[in-house]
Amino acid sequence: MIKTVKGTTDILAPEVLLWQRVEGVLASTAKAYGYEELRTPTIEVQELFSVSVGQTTDIVEREMYSFPDKKGRHLVLRPEGTAPACRAYVEHQLNVQPSPSKFFYMGSFFRYEQPQSGRKREFHSFGVEAIGEQSHLQDAEVIDLVFTMLSRLGLTGLSVDVNSIGDASCRPQYKELLQASLKTHEDKLCDDCKRRLMENPLRVLDCKREDPQLLASLPKSVDFLCDECRTHHALLLSALDSLHIPYRQNSRLVRGLDYYTKTVFEVLSEDLGAQSALLGGGRYDYLVRQLGGPQTPAVGWGLGMERLIAIVAAHSPDLAASLPPLRIYVVHSDTATTAAFELRRRLVESGVAVDIDVRSDSFGKQLARASRRGARYAIIIGDDESSRGTVTVKDLSTGTQETLESDGLAEYLDGRSR
């Protein structure tokens, strides 16, 4: 028996119904905030991520699924969604359109890491990107969008960790001070962080293997911000206060990707235990330029769908247990097959989900299959019904049945689905 690849999984009914409902809430909320859907390819050139995400990140160093194609070009399965969105923004010259360009996306992403609860090698993400606006209110909007989405999904106990890591004006000074401080503790650092110490010392703050007390003793980026970054950060915190979004300033928060500037944040859920981060994001004001476009500010976030689905299933039972669509099953005689298919076409056009029996056997066996497939109603079309233009509707939960004109069936079923 051939099984799924390690770190991947099948999503079957009825769980897939919950996925569809959650995806629908996320997408409809993003659209209501003025975001349009963007779909990028699953395969991208490797350079897109080595340039944008950073050569010393875990993603580029050890987690990307990379391979040469038949012409020797280095391709990867996309490990994250922001760089592809910016690549699309540059490639299609979206900077000439009114700013900001506001996108949302969902789909499969890939990272070669040890599978664990809520984290797969093929995982699903939903994210938003707002490209072309530098106001602190754009940062506040994408965070506010998260809280609106999660509130609509019935989640509570949410907060946001936020930090500012500065920009090209003030970060170099901070990096030098951080590097000097880390060198005094070099013998206590893990092997990866000893290398990061010289290449990108901010990445040490993101390491889960280092001593928390050591990390807490290091210089904090917010203490070395330039006037512009300090003002941006203060205005963002003021906006979060006015929106009643609970937050905590977390000086260790840097996020794991090199393209971030100024604002970085993570939304946390009390329902996730020690691994409480549900999603993360921040501002990336230089990424579009790095990918060949003009200097363009931007901000966004991405969340893991597997973790979100698990939380919704456990803590929003009304949404998780929502009933599937009204199921209709058409039972028919051999001579009424054409009439049965024509009836299904009309019902589907009216928005009714309909299954139909394709075996040529008795009504009793067809009705038994209808019950096993979870149908609520069986629509029976025999020779008499076909000649009269009627149908017999049987409620499989009660066993009662009645005869109706076939033209009025859609309205009858619509009334039963409310």
Element (H, E) at 39: none
Q: What DSSP assignment string belongs to 286-331?
A: THHHHTTS----EEEEEEEHHHHHHHHHHH-HHHHTPPPPPPEEEE
**Which of 369, 360, 350, 343 minimizes the C-alpha distance to 417?**
350
**Which of 268, 206, 190 minimizes the C-alpha distance to 58?**
206
Instruction: For the chain, list the domains and their CATH numbers.
Output: 15-156+249-319 (3.30.930.10), 328-416 (3.40.50.800)
pLDDT tens per residue across all 418 residues of the chain: 999 999 999 999 888 989 999 999 999 999 999 999 999 999 999 999 988 776 656 667 678 889 999 999 999 999 999 999 999 999 999 999 999 999 999 999 999 988 777 678 999 999 999 999 999 999 999 999 999 999 999 888 899 999 999 999 999 999 999 989 988 888 888 888 888 887 788 888 877 777 788 888 899 999 999 999 999 999 999 999 999 999 999 988 987 677 899 999 999 987 666 567 889 999 999 999 999 999 999 999 999 999 899 889 888 777 666 555 668 999 999 999 999 999 999 988 888 889 999 998 999 999 999 999 889 999 999 999 988 999 999 999 999 999 999 888 988 887 776 5
**HSE-CB of 34 using CA atoms within 13 angstroms:** 10
Q: What is the pTM of this model?
A: 0.87
Beta carbons of 298 and 131 less than 8 angstroms apart: yes
State the Cα torsion 364-367-368-373 to the nearest 10°. 160
Read off the tokens for 34.
Answer: 């003025």
